[in-house]
A and B are shown apart, each in its own frame.
Chain A
Amino acid sequence: MNEMTQLERLRAEIPRPGPADLQAQEDRLLAAIADPPPVRLSRSGERPRAVRRLGLSLAAGMAVVAVAAGILVVAGDTELDAPPVLHVMPVKAETVLKRAAENAGRFPELHPKPGQFLIFESQTMDTVEVNDAGGHSRYLSRSKRKVWLPVEGDSTGGFIEGEGLSPSAYPGWPIPPVARESLGRSGPEKLADFDERVEYLRTDYAYLSRLPTDPAKMYQHLYTGLSHGARADADAWQRVGGMLTEAYLPAAQRAALFRAAAAIPGVTTVGEAVDAAGRTGVAAARTEPALGIREEYIFDRKTYRYLGVRRVVTDAVRAKAPVGSVLTSSALLKVSVADHAPVEQ
């Protein structure tokens, strides 16, 4: 008996469930399909009419609509499970992002071609939670990373080369020995086995360069599938970060993104912020009260070039760290174009 036959017998007593065993699961799935989060505007099961949609959305998003620029956009593809929700870009705009938008065209632009790779070199700091035989510990892991991403396609076609740097202490925690185990170089190796992002969260150059250059439409894109309220605004703000971190947009889309991001409710200016490479700049930020964390996108204070992102504690109880602690930060050091992927090690 060979090893495959023996393996096939292992746990073979577990039965294949019949339809009756799975009925409850199927009902749950159908319920989730019929009533998709985050909100449902109509209980009747019929597709809500435009007027009804508008009325409800006005009620739901009163603060936003009151200062609207007069541009109405409908976010959410009704073909998908996204609820039809109106997202109107407000006129108010945060200053740093506005300046960044005005300056977006001043930098030499890269023109990567299909088949090529964009190379992003950055330095990062992330909070790591360890739960092993040695107990529970936290530390700030620091590294340099060089990532190759295909001009078209998801991150499974990408490669990464990393270098672990000496770790930093998480506020109030000693650095555990395990933190020093993965220092040194690694890769280049495949970046990811999976990338299950939905279409509208793609950040490859080919996709980003097809996004609208009109800020109101870019605003709509940021809210695809989202409802109204603080949760949706927080998600939209996160998506901005997704398009800035290891992603490259043509200048026109970049300007539109900054203008759209500047209009997200709750976005404020931070006068001084330091990125993971120690560069000081100004930041546009949004606080997520539920987490007690402020997420800042940092820009050079003169040229308004994007420098990096960091997450800072604003509520010690919720974030479980002293106010002002930096929990995550990154610094984008260089973006370039290459014809080929690196040779895997």
Chain B
Amino acid sequence: MSQLSREEVDDASFIERSRREPEAFAEVFRRHAPDITRYVTRRLGDGVAEDVVAETFLVAFRQRAGYELTRPNARPWLYGIATHLMSRHVRTEVRQLRILERRGVDPVTQSFAERSDERVSAEASRRSLAGALATLPRGHRDALLLVAWGGLTYQEVAEALNVRLGTVRSRVNRARHRLRQELGGINPMATVSEESVHE
């Protein structure tokens, strides 16, 4: 087979083409929808996730004229839009985490096949983790989960959230610290405050 041309590999080419041929945007969806769907479902459950993901790609499509074409990978951009749309559901997210923390039953994973063997061993830590996630300031939770569940690099998180790299580091470090305290049973009284650190 012939080698792949640039047009066939990077997202920016498809986004650029979709400005003239809107249907070309379908390729952006095919490439990223699986990961983004899983990510959003993990945070909000499949009921809300379907709408959020649909809207993410529609918003992206409408804003494709403003996409910075020098960024070949659209992942940070799409996760950024999804994160923004998810912020409308922050109460749902926190409520579900609290249910998991208090009852040990996770409303988000209920509709998926359970792997109970792993479940039992991790029972206590799951509940602690959920409790810790629920108390994190939103910006910290966003940064932490984009790294842990979205698989984004710190630089990609900075692009997605439109904050400085130093802010991402600071948020993730504080969030991890909080998780460690919770898992270690220290239960600090103070909550982490939302603040950004500039380099």
Interface residues in chain A, defined as those with a beta carbon under 8 Å from any beta carbon in chain B:
2-4, 6-11, 13-19, 22, 25-26, 28-30, 32-34, 79-81, 156, 190, 193-196, 198-199, 344
**Of A10, A25, A34, the contact of B54 (CB 8 Å cutoff):** A25
| Residue B161 is within 8 A (CB to CB) of chain A in the complex | yes
- Whether B109 pairs with A194 at a CB distance below 8 angstroms is no
The minimal Cβ–Cβ distance linking A79 to chain B, given in whole angstroms, is: 6
6 A-B pairs (CB sep. < 8 Å)? A10-B129, A11-B149, A17-B34, A22-B29, A22-B37, A25-B50
Q: How far is the CA of A62 from the CA of B115 in the complex (A)?
A: 64
- Whether A80 pairs with B65 at a CB distance below 8 angstroms is yes
Q: How many A-B residue pairs have CB under 8 A?
A: 118
Q: How far is the CA of A80 from the CA of B22 in the complex (A)?
A: 9
- Whether A194 pairs with B80 at a CB distance below 8 angstroms is yes
The minimal Cβ–Cβ distance linking A86 to chain B, given in whole angstroms, is: 21
- Whether A6 pairs with B125 at a CB distance below 8 angstroms is yes
**Of B33, B54, B109, the contact of A11 (CB 8 Å cutoff):** B109
| Residue B189 is within 8 A (CB to CB) of chain A in the complex | no
Q: How far is the CA of A17 from the CA of B38 in the complex (A)?
A: 7
Most A CB within 10 A of own CB, among B23, B149, B163: B149
Q: How far is the CA of A196 from the CA of B58 in the complex (A)?
A: 13
What B residues does A196 contact at CB under 8 A? 59, 63, 81, 84
How would you classify the secondary structure of chain B's contact residues: helix, strand, loop or mixed? helix
**Of A2, A14, A81, A194, the contact of B42 (CB 8 Å cutoff):** A14
- Whether A199 pairs with B23 at a CB distance below 8 angstroms is no
Q: Which 9 A-B pairs have the closest CB atoms?
A: A3-B179, A16-B38, A7-B148, A11-B42, A33-B22, A194-B84, A3-B180, A16-B34, A14-B42
- Whether B33 pairs with A26 at a CB distance below 8 angstroms is yes
The minimal Cβ–Cβ distance linking A34 to chain B, given in whole angstroms, is: 7
Q: How far is the CA of A29 from the CA of B62 in the complex (A)?
A: 11
- Whether A6 pairs with B162 at a CB distance below 8 angstroms is no
- Whether B35 pairs with A16 at a CB distance below 8 angstroms is yes
- Whether A15 pairs with B179 at a CB distance below 8 angstroms is no
- Whether A9 pairs with B118 at a CB distance below 8 angstroms is yes
What B residues does A195 contact at CB under 8 A? 162
Further pairs besides A2-B180, A3-B180, A29-B26: 7, Cβ < 8 Å: A14-B109, A17-B34, A19-B34, A28-B54, A79-B65, A196-B81, A199-B65
- Whether A156 pairs with B61 at a CB distance below 8 angstroms is no
